[in-house]
Structure 1
Amino acid sequence: MKVLAVTSQGKLDAAMRQERVLLRLRKANSPYRVTEHCGDEVVFCGMSVGTVYGMSRVRAEGFAVVRAEDSAVVRACDNVTVEANNTSMVEARGNATVWAFDNTIVHAYGQSTVEAYDAAVVHVHDAAVVRAHGEYVTVISHSSGHAGGRVIDLSGLDLSDARQWATYHGVHLNDSGMLTLYKAVPADRTTGREYGHEVAWPTEGRVECEDWDPIPNCGGGLHLSPIPRQAARYMDDDKIRAGAHFFECRVPVDSVIPLSLDAPPTTPKAKAPWVQVVREVTIDGANVDGSERR
Structure 2
Amino acid sequence: MTCIDITDQQQLDAALADDDVTCVHIKSERGVWLRLTGQHGKAVELSGNATARLSGNATAELSGNATAELFGNATARLFDNATAELFGNATAELSGNATAELFGNATAELFGNATARLSGNATAELSGNATAELSGNATAELFGNATARLFDNATAELFGNATAELSGNATAELSGNATAELFGNATARLSGNATARLFDNATAELSGNATARLSGNATAELSGNATAELSGNATAELFGNATARLFGNATAELSGNATAELFGNATARLFGNATAELFGTSSAHAYGSSTVTASSHAAVHLHSAQATVTGGIVIDVTDLDLTAATTWCDHHGVTVTDGKAVLYKALGDDLASGQRYGPPIVWVVGETVTCDDWLDTDECGGGLHLSPTPHQATYYCSAATRWLAVEVDVTTLRPINDGGAPKAKAPSCRVLHEVDSFGRRIESAGVAR
User: TM (normalized to structure 2)?
Assistant: 0.51
Q: Which residue number corresponds to residue 230 of structure 1?
A: 392
**Cα distance in 1, alignment partners of residues 277 and 367 from structure 2:** 53
Q: Are the structure 2 counterparts of residues 223 and 24 from structure 1 closer, same or farther at C-alpha, using a change threshold of 3 Å? A: same
Q: Are the structure 2 counterparts of residues 16 and 39 from structure 1 closer, same or farther at C-alpha, using a change threshold of 3 Å? A: farther
Q: Are the structure 2 counterparts of residues 22 and 120 from structure 1 closer, same or farther at C-alpha, using a change threshold of 3 Å? A: farther
The one-character-per-residue Cα deviations of 1:45-104 (angstroms, maximum 9, x if unpaired) are: 4335x5625334444333344444444433333223323333332232222222222222
1:1-294 map, 5 Å: 1-8=170-177, 11-12=178-179, 15-16=180-181, 20-22=186-188, 24-27=190-193, 37-38=215-216, 40-48=218-226, 50=227, 52-55=229-232, 56-126=234-304, 128-133=306-311, 137-141=312-316, 154-174=317-337, 176-235=338-397, 237-238=398-399, 241-242=400-401, 245-260=402-417, 263-264=418-419, 268-289=422-443
Q: Are the structure 2 counterparts of residues 23 and 107 from structure 1 closer, same or farther at C-alpha, using a change threshold of 3 Å? A: farther
- 1:36: how far off? 6.5
Conserved 8 A contact 2:216-2:231: yes
The one-character-per-residue Cα deviations of 1:140-180 (angstroms, maximum 9, x if unpaired) are: 22xxxxxxxxxxxx222222211111111111111x32222
2:347 maps to amino acid: V
Q: Are the structure 2 counterparts of residues 26 and 75 from structure 1 closer, same or farther at C-alpha, using a change threshold of 3 Å? A: farther
**Cα distance in 2, alignment partners of residues 31 and 216 from structure 1:** 42
**Cα distance in 2, alignment partners of residues 196 and 43 from structure 1:** 37
Tell me which moved more, 63-72 or 158-167: 63-72
Tell me which moved more, 33-42 or 209-218: 33-42
1:252 maps to amino acid: D
SS at match of 2:296: coil
2:333 maps to amino acid: G
Number of residue-to-residue matches in the alignment: 260
The one-character-per-residue Cα deviations of 1:220-276 (angstroms, maximum 9, x if unpaired) are: 3222222222222222x52xx23xx3222222221222224xx24x85222222222
User: TM (normalized to structure 1)?
Assistant: 0.73
**Cα distance in 1, alignment partners of residues 362 and 266 from structure 2:** 45
Instruction: Select the structure that is richer in strand.
Output: 2
**Cα distance in 2, alignment partners of residues 210 and 233 from structure 1:** 24
1:159 maps to amino acid: L
Q: Sequence identity of aligned pairs in percent?
A: 30
The one-character-per-residue Cα deviations of 1:185-221 (angstroms, maximum 9, x if unpaired) are: 3322333343335433222122222232222223332
Conserved 8 A contact 2:346-2:390: yes
1:140 maps to amino acid: I
Conserved 8 A contact 2:433-2:443: no
1:233 maps to amino acid: Y
Higher gyration radius (CA): 2
**Cα distance in 1, alignment partners of residues 372 and 213 from structure 2:** 57
Conserved 8 A contact 2:405-2:433: yes
Conserved 8 A contact 2:247-2:263: yes
Structure 1 unaligned runs (5+)?
Answer: 142-153
**Cα distance in 2, alignment partners of residues 164 and 106 from structure 1:** 22
Instruction: Select the structure that is richer in helix.
Output: 1
**Cα distance in 1, alignment partners of residues 394 and 373 from structure 2:** 22
**Cα distance in 2, alignment partners of residues 282 and 218 from structure 1:** 26
Q: Which residue number corresponds to residue 101 of structure 2?
A: none
**Cα distance in 2, alignment partners of residues 138 and 82 from structure 1:** 18
**Cα distance in 2, alignment partners of residues 226 and 67 from structure 1:** 32
Q: Which residue number corresponds to residue 148 of structure 1?
A: none
Conserved 8 A contact 2:193-2:211: no
Conserved 8 A contact 2:171-2:187: yes
**Cα distance in 2, alignment partners of residues 187 and 163 from structure 1:** 32
1:22 maps to amino acid: A
Q: Are the structure 2 counterparts of residues 101 and 130 from structure 1 closer, same or farther at C-alpha, using a change threshold of 3 Å? A: farther
**Cα distance in 1, alignment partners of residues 361 and 223 from structure 2:** 49
